[in-house]
Amino acid sequence: MEDDASPGGSRGLSLDVIMVIFDNLELPLADLAPYRRCCKAMSEYVVRTVRRFEASTPPRSQHLDSGAWLRSVLDVYCHLEELQCGGLTLSDNDGVLAAGLGGGRLPNLRVLDLFDSAGVTDSAVVHVSSGCPQLRVLTLGGSLRRHGARLTNAAVEAVSARCVHLEALHLHCCYQVTDAAVSVLARERGPALRAVTLSRCGKMTDGSILALAAAAPNLQFVNVRVASEAKA
């Protein structure tokens, strides 16, 4: 009996065999996508077994800019639970995040790290908050002031209102975010919060800490770094 799901009508390998082969090859996850076309079992392996992806720069084999490459990755790995984009520089972060994470395209995503990803705006975070219903851990901003410069209270308030499973929010160099946003975070997600970082967020005061202390009894980790003049 022929298996018309594989090229040329030949019978494809079983999923168990494919898992053994690729587990031993230890290929970078970004290089797995082309193998989806081999057969149904290979496609199932790629789509369903990849749960964590670390995006830094496109592999040399991919002649794409960072944005196009990341879009292609997100198109394939729809079962991702963790996406690390720390330091990824995109020409259109908002567009990539809206296209890749908006509309519920990654319904299982639980951890999103955008640390040091320049250019992320409130609009991008709104798309993330509405498109990733299972999100539990979110990291925004970065080591330089420009990484968090375009984020305001609107971003934090959107996450607080829409990410009903949120347990950890890490903000770095988000100089436009104020106590008002942290108060919303504490009010909306307080009992569920386990970890909060407010590092070099220059407009925050003791009021943010007091709001968390009053409304987040299960906090296990709080990182507060005094604001200083960060390099642009």
Whether the Cβ atoms of residue 11 and residue 2 lie closer than 8 Å to each other: yes
- Residue 104 has what pLDDT? 75
Residues 87 and 202 in one domain: yes
Q: 206: domain range?
A: 51-225
pLDDT under 70 in the chain at which residues?
Answer: 1-50, 52-69, 89-94, 99-100, 145, 227-232
Q: Alpha helices, DSSP H only, in the chain?
A: 15-25, 40-49, 66-76, 93-101, 122-131, 145-148, 153-162, 179-189, 206-215
Residues 44 and 55 in one domain: no
Residues 155 and 124 in one domain: yes
Compute CA 21 distance to the chain's CA centroid, rounded to the nearest angstrom: 29
Whether the Cβ atoms of residue 189 and residue 160 lie closer than 8 Å to each other: yes
Domains in the chain, number: 2
Model's pTM, two decimal places? 0.76
| CATH code for the domain of 205 | 3.80.10.10
Helix axes 179-189, 153-162, angle to 10 degrees: 0
